[in-house]
Structure 1
Amino acid sequence: VDHQDHQKMLILLCKITATVKQHYKKIMRQHVFGAMNVQRCDSEIRTRRITGSQTDNSCKEVNTFILANNNQVKAVCTGGGTQLPENRDLYISNKPFPVVTCTLISGERHPKCEYRGHRSTQRIVVGCAGDWPTHYEECVIV
């Protein structure tokens, strides 16, 4: 490998790392909030600007908040979860987490979205890129 090839590989690695970091920040912003409760769905989804699509302001149909901190969710990717056999990137938590699931009841466009919150306890499923959670798999009941 010559010097130029080495530089190209480093640049590619930096781009991949930056993308993983962006996805990690997004999952934490959209799905991890230790102080969440069922009455806060509207305000948290509005404040965090969670929408159904990146290209428009449509209301997201369902959004789940994991009542935990970032490190507890990250642990699912670093030994606190079990890899799902049908998908090499998805891991299910070994222990259940309290969650608040916010389901859209009215509205079409952000910020006029109204949600109903429901609290439950379940094992969560996250997509992992190495040690980093990069995706929350919504609506997986085990």
Structure 2
Amino acid sequence: MALQRTFSLLLLLLLTLLELGLSSYGDENRMYQRFVQQHVDSKVANRNESYCDLLMQRRKMTSRYCRYFNTFIHEDIWKVINICSTTKIRCRNGEMNCHESVVNATDCTLIAGFKAPDCRYWAMTGTRRVVIACEGNPGLPVHFSS
């Protein structure tokens, strides 16, 4: 009887831990997908003057109000993920889960408009240092810091 009760408690504990692990993985995965949606454009073909206007709209960052600033990283997704394997640095919020690298990117800065569809952006393209926060094991990018 005692052995059966111990087994039942261990099984309950295992199922609880498994559920907690899966739910946290789901949160990290959603944050990673959001990061990619908002900050990765590896297949960029033409970064002309309307690049930011179009991409900010397509990526749903102007659905209610115009987002003031956003950066798109123009690297293969695996290179972006590999940033999480570099040395950890302190984030602006004090956490120690940030990593930095130099990437090709476009910064989009709002120059006109307040609400969609009137959002107009200025694009600045080049190679620059970025800092991203990573979560999970293995680490996935979940937040663009700078």
- TM-score with structure 1 length normalisation? 0.83
Q: CA deviation at 1:2?
A: 1.8
Determine what percentage of the aligned residue pairs are the same residue. 26
The residue correspondences of 1:79-98 to structure 2 (distance < 5 A) are 81-85=86-90, 86-93=94-101, 96-98=102-104
Show the counterpart of 2:57. 46
Look up the match of 2:6: none
> Residue type matched to 1:106 in 2?
A
Residue 38 of structure 1: how far off its partner (Å): 4.8
Q: CA RMSD in A?
A: 1.7
2:77 is aligned with 1:70: yes
Which structure 1 residue ranges, 5 or more long, are not aligned?
A: none
Larger helix fraction of residues: 2
3-state DSSP of counterpart to 2:87: strand
User: Whole-Å Cα distance in 2 between the matches of residues 30 and 111 of structure 1?
Assistant: 18
Secondary structure (helix, strand or coil) at the match of 1:123 reads strand
- Larger radius of gyration between Structure 1 and Structure 2: 2
Q: 1:71-109 deviations in whole A, cap 9, x for unaligned? A: 11000012xx2211453111112xx21110000011112
C-alpha distance in structure 2 between counterparts of 1:114 and 1:63, whole Å = 13
Instruction: Give the alignment partner of residue 12 of structure 2, picking from 4, 12, 24.
Output: 4
Does 1:32 find its partner at 2:40?
yes
Q: TM-score, normalised by structure 2?
A: 0.81
**Deviation at residue 14 of structure 1 after TM alignment:** 0.7
Unaligned runs of 5+ residues in structure 2 are 1-8
Q: How many residues align?
A: 130
Q: Which amino acid aligns with 1:44?
A: L
